[in-house]
Amino acid sequence: MKANDGSDREQHYNDFVALLSRHDQAIRRFVRSLLPNRDAADDVVQETALECWRKFDSFTGTQTEDENEFVRWACVIARYKALSWLRDQGRDKLVFRESVIEALATSALSQLDQREAERRAVDGCLAKLSDAQRKLVLSVHSPGQSVASIAKETGQQARRLYYQLDTLRTSLQRCIEKQLQKELRHG
């Protein structure tokens, strides 16, 4: 055994963790689109991560140069893990048939690139807002926060904040559309 096998293995593990961390949300969104609840998705995402690590040697041998390939590869594994979870839950009448899951998975895989581009556009456009503007926009999507609570905190009228929120949303929509068109032109 070579002296640097331990450091090579550690680097291999670090590469895997970096890829998984970078693409965890994309994998999680994919799994969530296939399963009926968050708890099931959490279980399948965890099983997927373990299976990806077990098979990572086969992935790194051919596809390390394109990180999007990692997401696609992990989502294929996630699809099988989701199907396995559904088979295990087969007694529940509210579970989708396997053919429905296959159709959902195929559709979700084909939309991965578009969703990632949309996520980047939203993140980029949100980053252009001031902290106060970003807080206001995100308040309606954050548990425990609301426009009314921000109005109370800042002493502003809620109606005025709603107007600002509407203006910011319109601005964000334009920014996101512009970013997506720009990305589409540049491939």
- The dihedrals phi and psi of 74, each to the nearest 5 degrees, come to -65, -35
CA dihedral of residues 136, 141, 142, 144 (deg, nearest 10): 90
pTM: 0.57
Written as one string, the DSSP assignment of 26-94 is HHHHHHHHHSSSHHHHHHHHHHHHHHHHHHHHHHHHHHTT-HHHHHHHHHHHHHHHHHHHHHHTTT-TT
Instruction: Give the single-character DSSP code of 97.
Output: P
Q: pLDDT for 44-88, tens place per residue?
A: 999 999 999 999 888 864 444 566 788 889 999 999 999 888 888
Q: pLDDT for 105-136, tens place per residue?
A: 888 887 887 888 888 899 999 999 998 888 88
